[in-house]
Chains A and B, each alone.
Chain A
Amino acid sequence: MYPDQFEFHRADSVSEAVELLADNPDAELIAGGHSLLPTMKSGLASPDALVDISDLDGLSGVERNGEVTHLGAMTTYATVADDDDLWEDATVVAEAASQVGDRQVRNRGTVGGNIAHADPASDLPAAMLAANATVHVHGPDGERSVEIDDFFQGMYATAAGEEGVVTGIDVPEEGENTASAYVKKPAPASGYALVGVAARLTFDGDEVTDARIAANGVMDHGTRLPAAEDAIEGESVDADAVAVAGDAAGDSLDEYMVMEDQQASQEFRLQLLSAYTERALETVGERAGHM
């Protein structure tokens, strides 16, 4: 309940934040604080210093250019979840944001903080994978963009590295022939995903021409499900194809690396993965008017 002492820096710029992080290996970045502060209160984390970037100009807000929607890293889940246009343009991201934590958490937690933290059971990673997002990172060597497929590297580990600051996320807008969804089985106590499945399908008529399907809660980080994608591509989203894709969902995963805890065994997680992959695909199919 009582965090240890730390120094508090409010960064005036992203560059300053990057410098502060580089100078102090035991410093942590704080954005919305809803991942970090609970671990500090429980004594699991005890950083020497916090670098606060929540007030930085330009890091917050939603912008559009007709092709991508840019989410400033400090944009809260609530802002994303309440953005009607995003529900049109990148449904899966808005839907995942709407399912993070609870209302109070969504009012403070940020999308940048979420993916930078890379909690394997949080909701945004799979959604960003399905949406084929691009992450903007400002590190000691300057600014760079990271494809979302290269971003998540392990439990709490990302391509941003310890000293990089996630400054924003670009989410491509779904075209007319694309639809997406995020469905989730929450752990009853924490609300984190036992399994969460994000799917984005592009259609030519009834036929799925491109599928991006990803899962949270199953592996040590948000993960694409290529076997499910292969199974649904070239098919129409009917009950049989959905069932085949659901069955295939776990095929591309290393079974031994599947998460296991008191909430769910590996075997049951894979079962939920199948069931929720089916639900995600059904939902997308319905949204696209194909089911």
Chain B
Amino acid sequence: MATDEREGGSDRIETVEADDVDAADILGSAIERQEDPSLLTGEAEYTDDIQLPEMTHMAMLRSQYAHARLADIDTSEAEEMEGVVAVFTAEDLDVSGALPVGWDLDSLRNVDNPIMVEDRIRYQGDVLALVVAEERYQAHDALDAVDVEYERLEAVTDPSDALAEDAPVIHEEEGTNEAFDWDIGDADDTEAALEAADNVVELDVTNQLLIPNAIEPRAVVADYDPSDDLLDVQMTTQNPHVHRLLMAGVIDHPEHRMRVRAPDVGGGFGSKIHHYADEALVSWAAKQVERPVKWQATRTESYLTDAQGRGHETHGEIAVDDDGTIRGLYVDTKANLGAYLSTFSPSIPTYLYGTLLSGQYEIDNIYCEVTGAYTNVVPVDAYRGAGRPEASFIIERLVNRAADAVDMDPAEIRKKNFLDPDDFPYETPVAMEYDSGDYHKTLERAMEAVGYDEFRERQEQAREEGRYLGIGFSCYIEACGIAPSELVGELGAGAGLWESGLVRFTPSGTVRAMSGSSGHGQGHDTTFSQILANELGVDYDDIEVVEGDTDAIPQGMGTYGSRSAAVGGSALVESARKVVEKARKIAAHQLEADPEDVEFEAGEFQVAGAPDRSTSIQDVSLEAYLAHDIPDDMEPGLEATTFYDPSNFVFPFGTHVAVVEVDPDTGEVAFEDYVAVDDVGNQINPKIVEGQIHGGIAQGVGQALFEGAEYDDNGQLVTGSMQDYAVPKSFHVPEMETESTVTPSPENPLGVKGVGEAGTIAAPQAIVNAVVDALEPLGVDHIEMPLTNERVWRAAGGGDD
């Protein structure tokens, strides 16, 4: 791989232009993204860029309080204001108007989730009224004129407080704030293992609430044509088909008369998966006023409504023998679900969390119980990593604590307990079957890159000089491409988790491919074109990938959970192979050969052993559409659709190492090094892989050091703007050294594993472990995230408490 050593540490992967790549090498090359020119020149079209004739603007009145009764609401003054087209409240709703939840659990107390509230307000993001006006400023002006009378109620924001007996009950009909009680693993065996082990180390951690912060806030433009009863919705979505299905039910509009499109989407990180009240209301309002309606969330609204992530309070216990063998793991988590169940929220702190608790280790006994709690905070759902960062954090912190307890090096204890390459497929005690891995390799590569032995010497020396250096390991695993559909159905999913892919040749021999994946920055046009160029032997530039349009694409489940390459990409591969098989029959017919004797390579069909008897797939395509001379019983045309349902999850893994220096006087943490060695299986485009890792790490750095949604006792979001919630800035993120190993997944035809979330899953515990290691001489054994300067200073002995 071409690299370029420069200032800043890491070997840089150099991109290449597609024209300069041999066709045979197209898969796996770091091709420049074809998406970029339009994004770089302002030509891209995001939802708020859309202008339609007669378009109106919508704004929503959210609640002043997190928990209250809506005693009265008066919109009369707002209705009279200049430019106001209509004002609506819950009593105007003529549709079911309840948001569904897409994942059930046996113990789940599902609750009503209205798109506008009539009586009870449960968080600040609840919608009390909406205004449609000619101009966006006018719509917001009118909100100020809506007169609301609240009867305030006591609020609760932490899960443990919400589960206490005297807590205010948020959904009174349930009589409790307990949303579910879920467990996985064997309680008795784990208890016995903990009792039998030489040591048990305990740790209580809070995995704080995070705000996703896609730089583009959510937005919708809805256009209704009453003559055909057609509703055309363009919106910030990671999954247009899912949005169409859910929205159709919420606003009682026939799904087949709805089109949902994703224009350019400015990041999601999970926040644009879910179906939100505001989105449904825009579409509903467009039907009421029979004019196009645009709603663009303000950043304040994003902070009050975008589903937040994490929100765990966890007690963990790890059993370890004196020789470092891990005997068992017990985890008890209280998960904050917020005011209502968001689209997939029940699955995040359960099946995407408890099932990952074995990490990279052979641990014979694991038991995890999770209690979900309703609170008065923004609903909590998938945010980059979604459950897996929380699992990896508790394991990797506990393993470090276990190493301390038995006086072992943190790298050595990991090696001692790693699964070995020949253990795969490996069934964990928490219901996962790992596909493949080589955990020793990524750790050793990382130790080498960071210069581990030399670091320990330097650390020792620095300590003598009164300086505090620390190193932290994170040997993470993640599960992505959640599947297969039958299994997820058994686990409670209200949807299948396959993906569709349609590959269509044009008569002139170019290709249009439709994927149900829906990228929003990942570069699918580039990577999917690479996949298809490789499969079909056509020029990369002769392939057009279409995503994000329910009218164009058969069906789709969307982009999240690092699933697009493994599931969406595999669907395209399967379709391409079907197309090739049909084309092979046509070619054989044309070449008067048996299809079994016709070989396909680099876009050419050729009769085995007869090089002069050949034809191109482009020529075959034309023949397929001419249909003048194709095999009997064959339909004309050359296209294929696949609904690809994977056989299993895929399990990327790796080791991240942070090296920090901590100033105990100020609590300041400075990065000296950050090394990431990731194994995401085969790589379609190494530059895009690198970018995903970088971005993921940055979000992990954010969680470790800066970010956290904070609420006051009344449930008001204190970190309600970018002035208060610290999205990492350019100089907050360290220079990262990224390396890869490649252990292909046997589960899909591409051998890919998935990369979107790896960095975010891996980084936080690497950093926390490093800071704790730095301050070990001061007796520090844990600091809660985010590691604010004050927290670090206090942990290091500063302050009175």
Contacts and interface: CB of A to CB of B under 8 A. Distances in A.
A/B contact in complex, CB under 8 angstroms? yes
A271 B798 contact: yes
A189 B789 CA distance: 13
Nearest to B727: A189
Interface stretch (B89-97, B344-352, B717-725): B717-725
Interface stretch (B136-144, B287-295, B535-543, B673-681): B136-144
A265 interface: yes
Contacts of A38: 723
B141 A4 contact: yes
B793 A262 contact: no
A187 B799 CA distance: 20
B719 A1 contact: no
Contact of B790 (A5, A190, A264): A264
A268 B299 contact: no
Contacts of B666: 185, 271-272, 275
B710 interface: yes
Interface in B690-748: 705-706, 710, 718-719, 721-727, 729, 732
Contact of A189 (B299, B667, B724): B724
A265 B723 CA distance: 18
A83 interface: no
A2 interface: yes
A42 interface: yes
A1 B299 contact: yes
Contact of B723 (A4, A190, A264, A267): A190
A213 to B, nearest CB: 18
A289 interface: no
B721 A262 contact: no
B659 to A, nearest CB: 21
B5 interface: no
Nearest to A264: B790
A263 to B, nearest CB: 8
Contacts of A188: 705-706, 726, 729, 732
Interface in A134-186: 185
Contacts of A187: 726
Nearest to B139: A2
B300 interface: yes
B298 interface: yes
B723 A189 contact: yes
Nearest to B718: A262
B298 A1 contact: yes
B665 interface: yes
B665 A262 contact: no
Given A42-B721, A188-B706, A262-B724, A267 B300 contact: no
Interface in B777-796: 788-790, 793-794
Contacts of B790: 263-265, 268
Query: Interface of chain B, helix or strand or loop or mixed?
Result: loop
A146 B502 CA distance: 75
Given A1-B298, A262-B710, A271 B727 contact: no
Contact of B725 (A5, A185, A189, A267): A189
Interface residues on A, range: 20 to 34
Contacts of B710: 262
Interface string B441-454: 00000000000000
Contact of B799 (A2, A189, A267): A267
A39 B518 CA distance: 37
Contacts, number: 60
A218 B626 CA distance: 80
B140 A1 contact: yes
A268 B789 contact: yes
Q: Which of B666, B667, B718, B793 has the most CB of A within 10 A?
A: B666
B800 interface: yes
Interface in A1-46: 1-2, 4-5, 38, 42
Interface in A183-214: 185, 187-190
B136 A190 contact: no
Nearest to B59: A2
A8 to B, nearest CB: 15
A170 B83 CA distance: 50
A155 B419 CA distance: 60
A271 B723 contact: no
A188 B721 CA distance: 13
A42 B706 contact: no
Interface string A255-266: 000000011110
A271 B299 CA distance: 34
A2 B136 contact: yes
B665 A2 contact: no
B138 to A, nearest CB: 9
A265 B801 CA distance: 12
A189 B722 contact: yes
Contacts of A4: 141, 144
Q: Which of A264, A268, A272, A275 has the most CB of B within 10 A?
A: A268
Contacts of B144: 4
Nearest to B798: A271
B58 to A, nearest CB: 13
Contacts of B140: 1-2
A42 B720 CA distance: 11
Q: Which of A188, A263, A271, A272 has the most CB of B within 10 A?
A: A188
Contacts of B719: 189, 262
Contacts of B726: 187-189
Interface in B748-774: none
Contacts of A42: 300, 721
A2 B137 contact: yes
A4 B137 CA distance: 8
Nearest to A246: B665
Contacts of B137: 2
Contacts of A265: 790, 799
A262 B707 CA distance: 12
Contacts of A268: 667, 789-790, 793-794, 798-799
B793 A271 contact: yes
Interface in B635-680: 665-667
Given A1-B300, A2-B141, A271 B799 contact: yes
A210 B298 CA distance: 51
B130 to A, nearest CB: 16
A275 B719 CA distance: 27
Nearest to A272: B666
A4 B667 CA distance: 42
A4 to B, nearest CB: 7
A42 B303 CA distance: 13
B724 A190 contact: yes
B316 to A, nearest CB: 27
A215 to B, nearest CB: 15
Contacts of B300: 1, 42
A275 B789 CA distance: 13
A262 B710 CA distance: 9
Contacts of B798: 268, 271
A188 B730 CA distance: 11
A262 B208 CA distance: 15
Nearest to B705: A188
A267 B136 contact: no
A263 B706 CA distance: 10
B322 to A, nearest CB: 40
A101 B537 CA distance: 53
Contacts of A267: 799-800
A42 B298 CA distance: 10
A274 to B, nearest CB: 8
Interface string B111-146: 000000000000000000000000011001100100
A267 B799 CA distance: 7
B794 to A, nearest CB: 8
- Identify the 5 closest CB pairs spanning chains A and B, nearest first: A189-B726, A188-B726, A2-B140, A268-B790, A190-B723
5 contacts: A185-B666, A189-B719, A189-B723, A189-B727, A262-B718
Given A1-B140, A2-B141, A189-B726, 14 more contacts: A2-B140, A4-B141, A5-B141, A185-B789, A187-B726, A189-B706, A189-B722, A190-B724, A262-B724, A265-B799, A268-B794, A271-B666, A271-B793, A272-B789
